[in-house]
Amino acid sequence: MGAVAHKPKLYEQVAERLEEAITAGTLRPGDKLPSVRQLSLRERVSISTVLQAYLHLEAEGLIETRPQSGHYVRRRERPQLAEPQLSRPASTATLVTVSSLVASVYQSMGDARMVQLGAASPSPELLPTRRLFRELNALTRDARDRGVQYDVLPGCVELRQQLARRSMDWGCSLAMDDFITTFGASEAVHLCLLAVARPGDTIAIESPAYYGTLQAIEALGLRALEIPSCPCNGMQMEALEAALTRRRIAAVLVVPSFSNPVGSCMPDVRRQRLVNLLDAHDVPLIEDDIYGDLHFGPERPRSCKAFDKRGNVMLCGSFSKTLAPGFRVGYVAPGRFRERVELLKFSTSVTTATLPQYAIARFLQSGGYDRHLRSLRRRLCAQVQRMTSAVAEFFPEGTRVTRPTGGQLLWVELPQQVDVLTLHAKALEAGISIAPGPIFSARTDTYRNCFRLSCGHPWTPRIEAAMATLGALARSLA
């Protein structure tokens, strides 16, 4: 055995420095890169290392080779696309019935033969699996009995300590006892909904919203009130305020950082306003911060919880989008609802599985998580840019696309006349899976010309071909 720590190879280091320069705009589309010999001298590496670095960047779609000329930063093929506009959902609360449509979409998302442009999970090659598994294997030697036994509520001490430390980066200073570990952010949100709402109650959400949230609302017999939201800055405060005065709302649920599906990121001032507004109305805020660690800019967005003075914010998060979806490890800091959420956690699943929690805690303790995040963010940023270029290149005139500053998702708005369910069906026939717009609303007649694109996979010729096919299909429907 005796696995050793993964050090980036030389060519990866060279590629990363170039990638940073491209992401930061130091190198712009169309710029010529240094010649192989120049770079070899500058970086003090061999010619073959430089060649490998250039091949790698080319595979990622960041640069291109022009025969007899050299290497260039890849140009966007067309002028930048417009962003979609503010959403205008129906103003009444709706009993959600999105499930049957989701089920059929979800089926195709699990099909390995499809080109997966729909699912929102990072590709396994972006995850530090080897290092996580090393921690897991170490645990099976060092913590035998503990590993098979029930963990004790509120969850693994070491993990909660790490979360408390990390909460400083979120603008909070939570203590480890503020946290309860959960089976992913899904369980965290489920517990929060159970804690503050009863069947028939109304939950205000962004529009469009993650279909899993809609299903959680549907499953509990709740109503969804979709609030107009901006693809850039998230939920509109005026619209929410008006809704709060019109009817009783049991809770507001937002994904403030790099929301699913549109990737919006609420500015701090809006977060603060949201927290104050809900404090004034005594309505709890469920904050799903699952994408918060995936910022492309230098700073992590603060959490809404950072503005919470009364314990009114229930902060949910997980490691499913950054480390290991299949480990199912998440957390909730439920503020003043802590006791009720802990009771619900116990009666829902007793405690979170032991080994996955401890393995992640050890990985965090080792400092490996931050190093991994830096590289993951850079790669996702590059993949989002590459995918955006492909939309610009292949899709019909009038197509709009979001410009997320983090996460791994794009929201594409096609010309009005394109029916995305038809596009979805034709794409499936062509072996391509996308997430069509209607599953992101409680009313399945909305977002019929939109879809969500996942940028979780490194760019490959297979994905490029799929995007070309998808674009051609969309053009044929436009």
Which is closer to a second copy, CB of 40 or CB of 408?
408
> Closest separation between CB of residue 359 and a second copy, Å?
10
Contact region with a second copy (CB under 8 A), list: 65-73, 193-201, 370-378, 393-401: 193-201
Residue 255 sits in the site that holds a second copy (CB under 8 A): no
297 makes contact with a second copy (CB under 8 A):
no
Q: Which is nearer to a second copy, 92 or 129 (CB)?
A: 129
Candidate residues 91, 246, 269, 346; the one interacting with a second copy per rule CB under 8 A: 346
- Cβ proximity to a second copy: between 8 and 110 the closer is 110
Site string for a second copy, 348-367 (x = CB under 8 A): xxxxxxxxx-----------
> Least distance to a second copy from the beta carbon of 194, Å?
7
Is residue 222 at the binding interface for a second copy, with CB under 8 A as the rule? no
The answer to the question of residue 42 lying near a second copy (CB under 8 A) is: no
Interaction between residue 110 and a second copy (CB under 8 A): yes
Nearer to a second copy, 186 or 385 (CB): 186
Q: Return the range that interacts with a second copy (CB under 8 A); candidates 6-14, 144-152, 268-276, 414-422.
A: 144-152
Minimum CB separation of residue 442 from a second copy in Å reads 14
Question: For a second copy, which residue of 328, 377, 386, 452 counts as binding (CB under 8 A)?
Answer: 328
- The residues in 401-430 that bind a second copy, with binding defined as CB under 8 A, are none
129 binds a second copy (CB under 8 A): yes
Phi-psi region of 338 (alpha: psi -120 to 50; beta: other; left: phi over 0): alpha
- Binding to a second copy by residue 136, rule CB under 8 A? yes
Of the candidate residues 221, 242, 297, 416, the single one contacting a second copy (CB under 8 A): 221
Shortest Cβ distance from residue 201 to a second copy (Å)? 10
**Integer Cα distance of 36 and 43 in angstroms:** 10
CB of 16 or CB of 135, closer to a second copy: 135
How far, in Å, are 208, 233, 368, 407 from residue 268 at the CA level?
Answer: 21, 10, 29, 18
Asked if 137 interacts with a second copy (CB under 8 A), we say: yes
**How many residues bind a second copy, per CB under 8 A?**
61
Quick check: 293 binds a second copy (CB under 8 A)?
Answer: no
**Is 121 one of the binding residues for a second copy (CB under 8 A)?**
yes
Stretch that binds a second copy, among 60-68, 78-86, 126-134, 414-422 (CB under 8 A): 126-134
Nearer CB in complex with a second copy: 30/150: 150
Segment 162 to 181, residues that bind a second copy, using CB under 8 A: none
- The minimum distance between CB 330 and a second copy, in angstroms, equals 9
Which range of residues in 194-202, 275-283, 289-297, 398-406 is near a second copy by CB under 8 A? 194-202
Is residue 331 within 8 A of residue 180, CB to CB? The reply is yes
**How far is 279 from 466, CA to CA, in rounded Å?**
47
Answer for which of 198, 246, 336, 462 binds a second copy (CB under 8 A) is: 198
**Nearer residue to a second copy within complex by CB, 65 or 137:** 137
- Determine if 127 is a binding residue for a second copy (CB under 8 A): yes
Residue 334 has phi, psi (to 5 degrees) of -85, 10
Q: What are phi and psi of 318, to 5 degrees?
A: -165, 175
210 lies in the site for a second copy, by CB under 8 A: no
**Binder to a second copy among 1, 4, 5, 24 (CB under 8 A)?**
1
Binder of a second copy out of 57, 132, 275, 381 (CB under 8 A): 132
> Contacts from 51-56 at CB under 8 Å and sequence distance 24+?
52/11, 53/11, 53/12, 53/14, 53/15, 53/18, 54/15, 56/11, 56/12, 56/15
82 binds a second copy (CB under 8 A): no
- The full 3-state SS of the chain, as one line of letters, equals CCCCCCCCCHHHHHHHHHHHHHHHCCCCCCCECCCHHHHHHHHCCCHHHHHHHHHHHHHCCCEEEECCCEEEECCCCCCCCCCCCCCCCCCCCEECCCHHHHHHHHHHHCCCCCEECCCCCCCHHHCCHHHHHHHHHHHHHHCHHHHHCCCCCCCCHHHHHHHHHHCCCCCCCCCHHHCEEECHHHHHHHHHHHHHCCCCCEEEEEECCCHHHHHHHHHCCCEEEEEEEECCCEECHHHHHHHHHHCCCCEEEECCECCCCCCCECCHHHHHHHHHHHHHHCCCEEEECCCHHHECCCCCCCCHHHHCCCCCEEEEEECCCCCCHHHCCEEEECHHHHHHHHHHHHHHHCCCCHHHHHHHHHHHHCCHHHHHHHHHHHHHHHHHHHHHHHHHHHCCCCCEECCCCECCEEEEECCCCCCHHHHHHHHHHCCEECEEHHHHCCCCCCCCCEEEEECCCCCCHHHHHHHHHHHHHHHHHC
| Interacting residues with a second copy (CB under 8 A) | 1, 99, 103, 106, 110, 121, 124-125, 127, 129-130, 132-133, 136-137, 140, 144-153, 183-184, 186-187, 190, 194, 198-199, 212, 215-216, 218-221, 320, 323-328, 343-344, 346-356
